[in-house]
Amino acid sequence: MKKVITVLKGDGIGPEIVDEAIKVLGRIAEKYSHEFVYKYVDIGGCAIDKYGVPITDEGMEQCKNCDSVLLGAVGGPKWDNVDPSVRPEKALLAVRHELGLFANLRPTKLFPQLADASPLKQSIIGNGIDLLIVRELTGGIYFGKRNTAEENGEAFASDEMKYYAHEIERIGRVAFESAKKRRGKVSSVDKANVLDSSRLWRKIMHKLGEEYKDVEYEDVLVDNTAMQLIKNPSRFDVVVTENMFGDILSDEASMLTGSIGMMPSASLSEGTLGMYEPIHGSAPDIAGTDMANPLGTILSAAMMLRYSFDMANEADDIENAVNAVLDEGYRTADIMRDGMKKVGCREMGTLVTEKI
């Protein structure tokens, strides 16, 4: 099977971790007689340096005309003071919008081999941590109207948090369908005791709950969710929420596993096109040192095979290979513990590849 993958290596450690994911995908292609064709596009700070914009029109067209997008990371202190209209992160918002990537799936799973890396007590993580955060990605406060002005001699700023019913319904369906393939529970997170947008959110989610009778449903306020993720994370299966809440909660959840470097993510459209990336940043302080953890990117590649290419066996192979390498005690610096075998980014990628 032939698939065209647009590769956005980005900034900082982005090129290093993406190279290891491509190494793993190469082994999958070899084993299963697939053909993966890679089209490389500059994005983020490196694109600003070359072209003056975080992604060119030609680059965006390449993202649109492919089977999937694999992303490393963008940004860094070097570009903190550029014009806000061309900041590196603007490219990510643009890609999400242009590709219709409305659903962000962030699995949070504590690998048993890394249980001692979790900041939570063993008594809390004893039941395991395995949840999926489904974040709405193209609506809400990040895409609402913004205004900075002056009133009565004083500066003020405002950001609009707006949702249409159809936007809520489609992300809700992703959550309920995901729950049917997992443990059958959806926790919908909102702030309905304060926000009108959340009250509409809850109304639409309740209608979906009536439709999906085979899925357990609950409403959880966002502040309570933040507490329960620390107190009792095993109570959650699929957590669905709007853009800003999901941004914050998914980062909180990722730290329950002990390392943000292990966490993959998928951003999906209503078709098969998706963008896959680790949830961590560009880590410019360790760029070029071979210290980065490529496992989040490698696991993102596995999600790409599973969700965009319908290659479940191939995705399983990658995930099993990661588990096997961890079982043998290999660790990058961010997950290193006494008695383990420390390896660099390139060697970790090679070890995973060899296990497939």
**Of 32, 38, 51, 142, which is the active-site residue?**
142
CA dist., res. 145 & res. 141, Å (int): 8
Per-residue pLDDT, 254: 86
**Of 64, 251, 290, 342, which is the active-site residue?**
251
Per-residue pLDDT, 122: 85
Q: Please say if 142 is a catalytic residue.
A: yes
**Of 247, 330, 334, 355, which is the active-site residue?**
247
Q: Please say if 251 is a catalytic residue.
A: yes
Domain ranges in the chain are 1-110+260-356, 119-256
**Of 191, 276, 334, 355, which is the active-site residue?**
191
Contacts of 301-306 with C-beta under 8 Å, sequence gap 24+, read 301/21, 301/24, 301/25, 301/70, 301/276, 302/264, 303/105, 303/107, 303/264, 303/265, 303/266, 303/276, 304/5, 304/68, 304/70, 304/266, 304/274, 304/276, 305/28
Per-residue pLDDT, 331: 95
Q: How far is CA 27 from CA 68, 132, 190, in A?
A: 18, 28, 43
Contact in structure between 165 and 204 (CB atoms under 8 Å): yes
CA dist., res. 197 & res. 300, Å (int): 31
Q: How far is CA 285 from CA 29, 78, 292, in A?
A: 33, 11, 10
Per-residue pLDDT, 275: 97
Ranges of residues in the chain with a pLDDT under 70 are none
CA dist., res. 89 & res. 277, Å (int): 14
The answer to whether domain 1-110+260-356 and domain 119-256 are alike in fold is yes
State phi, psi for 184 to the nearest 5 degrees: 80, 35
Per-residue pLDDT, 25: 98
Per-residue pLDDT, 151: 93
- Please give the single-letter amino acid code of residue 158: S
In this structure, the number of other CB atoms found within 10 A of the CB of residue 160 comes to: 12
Q: Please say if 247 is a catalytic residue.
A: yes
Q: What is the DSSP string of 298-328?
A: HHHHHHHHHHTS--HHHHHHHHHHHHHHHHT
CATH T-level fold of 1-110+260-356? Isopropylmalate Dehydrogenase (3.40.718)
Residue listed under structure tokens 């082994």: 27
Per-residue pLDDT, 167: 97
- Please give the single-letter amino acid code of residue 211: E
Which residues make Cβ contacts (< 8 Å) with residue 127, sequence separation at least 6? 234
CATH-assigned architecture of domain 119-256: 3-Layer(aba) Sandwich (3.40)
**Of 196, 223, 310, 316, which is the active-site residue?**
223
